[in-house]
Structure 1
Amino acid sequence: MFIDTHLHVIDRSALPYPWLSGVPALDQDFLYETYAAEARRCGITTALHMEVDVDPAAMQAETDYIAAIAQKPGSLIAGAIVSCRPEDQGFAAYLERQKSDPFVKGFRRVLHVVADDVSEGTLFRENIRRVGGSGLTFDLCTLPHQAGRVAALVDLAPDVQFVLDHCGVPDIRSDAFQPWKAGISEIARRPNVICKVSGVVAYADAATWTAQTLRPYIEHVIASFGWDRVVWGSDWPVCTLGGGLSTWVAATHAALSGSSEAERSKLLFANAQRIWSL
């Protein structure tokens, strides 16, 4: 049993994705039905949709689009982590609207696509603090060199439950283990951060990686955060850049060999159930 905490649906006929033109391999439709057929075969029973950095004017439209999919009989989607812009004046009102929607489980602002100092802005930080006490999480999608900024932001909002995406985006392809490792250890010292074991197949060499390639990264994340502060995500369709959903599920099982059933259950579904009340 898996709960997938990181599903992306891309439907270019419904929503605008300005960044897709710069990533030809993903510049196509990746629809829910395609994902669901494979996900069920892999043992995925529930999914959270992760925002796909649509045009800011379409943020609410994306949430509404995914909510409509979730309402269909038998849908795997149980909630959404929605896009936001904490650097904007309108965030406070946006937060209040999202708090009233039980389908919304949290927020994400991808920080490695903007200037490093965006997260250091006064308004950005004030708005992140507003999320505290709302029951909503805040996903951090950052690069290893931004680990210090992640720690600083987390320290300023101790009442916010942060989620570090994709094992902190290690550069596995270049075998850049050591600087990434130190950053993960530092971030994990903050009790209000959990880490998402997701996305790593896209950061390895697509032609040569094996489960053993990924294992040191996954093991360090688990050793740093502990089994109670890790969750699993597919990062579909980005995972197709490194082999696809079924391959990532198989690699996850291989990388977790040697762990107990109780430990695996925490990572694969139990922690997500607790954190997002699924």
Structure 2
Amino acid sequence: MTAPIIDAHQHLWRVDDGYTWLDDPALTPIRRTFTPADLRSQLAANGVDRSILVEGGRCDPGEAAVLLSHAAATPEIAGVVAWADPEDPALAETIAGYRRLPGGHLLVGIRSQVQSEPDPLYLDRPSVRHGLRVVGSLGLAFDLVIRADQLPAAARCARALPSVRFALDHLGKPPIRSGDITRWAAGLAELAACPNVTAKVSGLVTEADWESWTVGVLSPYISKAVDLFGVDRLMFGSDWPVCELAGGYRRWVSALRECLPDGAVFGPVAARTYDLGRE
């Protein structure tokens, strides 16, 4: 039996429901509501069986109820990575509340917007690491959405918390527009040395020039990730609908298949990272 193809990273949002980051004029093409029906259409059109629904930058606990309800009603959504603040003293209770919601059994991970933290030592804070231990102890993964300059701090954190499963979003946002691969690659190497970290090959088209990117432009970054993580710790993510800013779902999947002929990244790693076998 062929393993299902899993998109490890996509979003849904109601445009008038607190997603203020969409007010940026450059984001006009995606400043609208995206529904489960829209998602199902994209998955079917691209031969993708299931997906992981990830919090969308609203950054409040109320979003979890919406996302989990979508998952409960949409068979293609295999799991939800919900937002929570790692420094929340009541984090365990917050997560328990999520699990009591309709669809709560589909909670597979937690994410916070670490990329927006100005403190370069945010992931070194004892309060943050305590929260991440809570996440891990509850059987959930933690998604690292970080800037390239935060990779060394993420590596220190992952080394300090070997029992926590981390998923690196968007390969740590490499500076593809500038082509400055050296510092990013060094930071990625530190994080890849941690066996409790997997990484999503996702979000790269919006780190490149939205209009002019090519497979040749993306290939060095994908190849470096393969060298450092191996295909057995990498997973495909569309970052849909954000990828609509730079060519769309189909073009990204086609580019990734060209760079990664090995099919391993299209399902098994996501299933392991998010413990989907418990379904």
Residue 107 of structure 2 corresponds to residue 104 of structure 1? yes
Deviates more, 1:103-112 or 1:31-40: 31-40
Pick one of 125, 140, 144 that aligns with 2:144: 140
Letter in 1 for 2:136: G
Match of 1:35 among 26, 34, 39: 39
Match runs of 1:86-97 below 5 Å: 86-97=86-97
- 1:275 corresponds in structure 2 to 273
CA displacement at 1:176 relative to structure 2: 1.4
One-letter amino acid matched to 2:109: G
How far is the alpha carbon of 1:24 from its aligned partner? 4.4
SS of the aligned residue for 2:13 comes to coil
Report the counterpart of residue 64 of structure 2 in structure 1: 63
Distance in 1 (CA, whole Å) between partners of 2:129 and 2:271 is 28
1:54 is paired with a residue of what secondary structure? coil
Equivalence for 1:216: 220
SS of 2:49's equivalent in the other structure is strand
- Residue pair 1:8, 1:237 contacting (<8 A) in 2 also: yes
1:121 corresponds in structure 2 to 125
Distance apart, 1:99 and its partner CA:
5.8
Instruction: Provide structure 1 residue ranges, at least 5 long, that are not aligned to the other structure.
Output: 258-262
SS at match of 2:105: coil
Residue matched to 1:45: 49
Give the RMSD, CA atoms, in angstroms. Answer: 1.8
1:1-278 matches, within 5 Å, as 2-13=5-16, 15-22=17-24, 24-25=26-27, 26-56=30-60, 59=61, 61-72=62-73, 75-98=75-98, 101-116=104-119, 117-257=121-261, 263-264=262-263, 266-278=264-276
Distance 1:168 1:23, change over 3 A: farther
What is the SS of the residue equivalent to 2:143?
strand
Per-residue deviation at 1:152?
1.4
Q: What residue is the counterpart of 1:260 in the other structure?
A: none
Confirm or deny: 8 A CA contact 1:10 1:30 kept in the other structure.
yes
Please say if residues 167 and 273 of structure 2, whose CA atoms lie closer than 8 Å, have aligned partners that are also in contact.
Answer: no
SS at 1:80 equivalent? strand
> Structure 1 CA distance, aligned partners of 2:99 and 2:156?
25
In 1, Cα distance between equivalents of 2:15 and 2:245: 19
Q: Secondary structure at the match of 1:132?
A: helix
| Counterpart Cα distance in 2 of 1:23 and 1:89 | 36
Structure 2 residue runs of 5 or longer lacking an equivalent are none
Runs of 4 or more, structure 1, over 6 Å off, are none
- The answer on whether the counterparts of 1:87 and 1:118 sit within 8 Å (CA) in structure 2 is no
Report deviation, 1:148. 1.4
User: What is the rounded CA distance, in whole Å, between the counterparts of 1:23 and 1:207 in structure 2?
Assistant: 16
Deviation string 1:199-224 (CA, Å, 9 cap, x unpaired) is 10111112221112111111111110
